[in-house]
């Protein structure tokens, strides 16, 4: 039996499975020269209920929580090299790192070290960088009604310094009362391997920010641009669609860190995760692996040595 509902439902893991089925059934086939063939659809939304501490970690295949959680902590750190990942025995970025372990000014760097145009610096108190994540959390705390709780990783003038162009590029938080939601816009989406990671790790980020604010996480909304299944994943997806959906696990925190920078993997407690088995798939090496360029930064997140506000 295939566990999908052939309708427009886009909620929870069922919505994710429906999306996989639509791609296999209705997706447009494309095979650029020198790349793996793929089927793709454009502009696919999904929604996930985070209430009661739920974490949408896929159950129709095993998804490794440690890898996605350590990767999110790496994003938050603002680092450009993979050493923190290696210290956590996470190897998912090794393919893109150069000989020095550098991937360039990717996600975390842009979140924490957004460069200010020198001509605009006087309007920002002379700052050379903007800590988007810290400012977003501050605005969520002090002006919850604002419509500008945004973080972007898309920096056109830095793209050639990155080992791969950012895929998950825009975050928008929404707070109403004591409830916090997050919408993620993702431009390029490996639906079998990458998307389950991204859904779970940005849901984790929503819980972390809510935890910092004394709020509860309500919903995570994922919007995929170019959503594709690579041809060498077709068989794995077909197998996944036959597995039953199980209840999602929950996430708990052992402590309340002083700031978003102070979380460690050991602070996370994953409760009640059951899933089907792990079915591996080959990673498609996009971008320019091994060619990231490190940019200097005005301050290091670790140790909280920030420029003056």
Phi, psi of 226 (to 5 degrees): -85, 100
Q: Is 167 a catalytic residue?
A: yes
Phi, psi of 73 (to 5 degrees): -60, -35
Environment class of 240 (CB within 10 Å of its CB; exposed 0-12, middle 13-18, buried 19+):
buried
What dihedral do alpha carbons 204, 205, 206, 209 form, nearest 10°? 130
Beta bridge partners of 102: 81
Helix residue ranges, H only, 27-163: 65-77, 83-87, 107-112, 132-142
- Catalytic residue, chosen from 136, 167, 189, 215, is 167
Please give the Cα distance from 197 to 190 (Å, whole number).
Answer: 10
At which residue do the structure tokens 């990458």 appear?
A: 194
Beta bridge partners of 229: 39
Q: Which two tokens stand for residue 197?
A: 């990671």
Beta bridge partners of 184: 171, 222
Q: Which two tokens stand for residue 307?
A: 């420029």
Annotated catalytic residues are 167
């Amino acid at each position: 039996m295939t566990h999908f509902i052939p309708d427009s439902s886009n909620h929870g893991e069922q919505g994710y499975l429906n999306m996989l089925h639509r791609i296999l059934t209705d997706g447009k086939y494309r095979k650029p020269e020198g790349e793996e063939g793929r089927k793709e659809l454009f502009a696919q939304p999904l929604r996930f209920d985070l209430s009661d501490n739920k974490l949408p970690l896929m159950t129709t295949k095993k998804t490794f929580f440690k890898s996605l959680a350590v990767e999110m902590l790496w994003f938050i750190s603002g680092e450009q090299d993979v050493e923190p990942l290696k210290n956590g025995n996470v190897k998912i970025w090794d393919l893109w790192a150069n000989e020095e372990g550098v991937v360039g000014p990717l996600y975390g760097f842009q979140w924490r070290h957004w460069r200010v145009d020198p001509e605009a610096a006087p309007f920002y108190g002379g700052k050379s960088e903007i800590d988007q994540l810290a400012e977003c959390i501050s605005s969520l705390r002090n002006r919850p009604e604002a419509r500008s709780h945004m973080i972007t990783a898309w920096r056109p003038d830095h793209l050639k310094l990155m080992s791969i162009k950012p895929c998950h590029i825009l975050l928008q938080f929404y707070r109403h009362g004591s409830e916090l939601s997050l919408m993620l816009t993702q431009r390029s989406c490996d639906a079998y391997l990458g998307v389950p990671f991204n859904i779970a790790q940005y849901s984790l980020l929503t819980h972390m920010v809510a935890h910092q604010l004394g709020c509860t996480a309500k919903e995570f909304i994922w919007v995929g641009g170019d959503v594709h299944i690579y041809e060498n994943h077709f068989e794995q997806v077909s197998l996944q669609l036959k597995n039953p959906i199980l209840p999602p696990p929950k996430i708990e925190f052992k402590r309340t860190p002083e700031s978003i920078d102070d979380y460690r993997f050991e602070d996370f407690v994953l409760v009640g995760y059951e899933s089907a088995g792990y079915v591996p798939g080959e990673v498609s090496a996009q971008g320019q692996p091994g060619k990231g360029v490190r940019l200097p930064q005005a301050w290091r997140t670790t140790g909280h040595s920030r420029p003056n506000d």
